[in-house]
A and B are shown apart, each in its own frame.
Chain A
């Protein structure tokens, strides 16, 4: 025998219905044997998963190791005389591989630029380019709260030619970040923000013209900003400047 309430039973067992619905469901299961049996089976299953899922425990040795590593991270590194000899050797080796590294680094940077450009183009081509639609920075910024492991500030663009269209989540090498879309005249510009230390390559601040796009990137408060769009380089630089200025 089926029951109309059964569609909500999973959400009920997870305790995710509203308080009012929870009360109504509580009353219902007292009279419906189908739902009562199903809910009981699901609760038992949740309990069994919980007990089976708590299986692995860290060793105390590992705990101590991590504790030491964390406390070490706080301490300032002190150079000793013994550090110099390996450093000289390392420098000699580094000189040998420097040319290769520069080539590799340039390829990495180009690959990232290419991904940023792909993200920008695919966003504009999407039927819903933004997840949060608002021209109000005080609406867009809080939307990202809890979705990305960092916080950033948005500039006021009210008295400029730019207008904020909205924002969305973006992923670069599986690192979550923020993408903000601005409009200027008929152009769309994306501003991407990612945590600097999660990016696969070190970056130098700068401006570039990549194929049809103008770009600018810089580091600010541990975050790497990329501005990209088909607007002229001056517009890109102006928007970048707004982000770099202290925000009120």
Chain B
């Protein structure tokens, strides 16, 4: 691998420095070395040049919420395959949730993940630790030790913390560690075995519905507890207009809350369960690839989420990448596990919002880079930026590149996507982690210079 990497002629967008202009970016020894006008980079030997004309060059995407399934569920995904899929999606840092087997509720499991990442991962993996032991929601996990082991936050994701007392204790404890509680907000007594959004589709298909209130009730609770304890709270995968409104008002009051939304919840509605093409062929209804928790909701919810994202009420986009095997998903809708394999379709899907004029490109990049970096903090180095001296995590993408989604070509073991066959405009073409190219599309033009 060459000592120096020059990315030439791309449109460089870095919100941390307020940049949006065409130029050259020089990487040396794994760090950002120089930025400036095209052709003006200081001359280097042992140089690889990437022609970035027509491409966007930005800090590597950061995913605050994903499932790498290792240890314990290696048939669905491993750190090796998951990080490669992340790289293909333009993600240079991913935060993996602790619902593994064993769960990440002890130092030993967290160390395992770090080790596996060192040996087989191609992007940065920052683990999230459990809030409670075994995610049972009863006793606090040893959060102090998990913090020392390097987790960036705590979550029982997959499950909420149903007991409000336990949650308030968890918040107090985490506050002094300076790390956020990342809550999966779901009142299980209200969701009660539901499978899809409670709305017209659930009645049409005879499926038990999950009301919006199931999420909003726990969002409201968590915001109240955050206000009470002063702890940092991060709301995972927001899906309803009501939740957006609650978060907006809490932020107005100064509550220390951040929030995330998935690409799927920004672009699909509950109608996707009726099948692709707006459910014209009912025989394709009950599509388990559209079964996710929280469920895809109504178009009113989608509008509110996009608006909330635009205004910054929702701070980041996180994929909640949840791979499952084909056999897992090829069954009756009620029996299929929830989850969408999201790394490789994230950018393509999000760019539709930019092309439709609903979201600014710079805002999109900010929500994928600067936003998450702010929540993670600097413990693992300064992320989400192209400042000189920082680790060179860079993503190159073609904002207009057309491609058709084919799950067969996914790098992830999880082929469970609702976007099968969709035509996207927006494609990641190269991903660089610490100066090393970890993903490169065949269209990228690279040349060596001695």
Do A and B actually bind? no
Residues of B within 8 A of A (CB): none
Residues of A within 8 A of B (CB): none
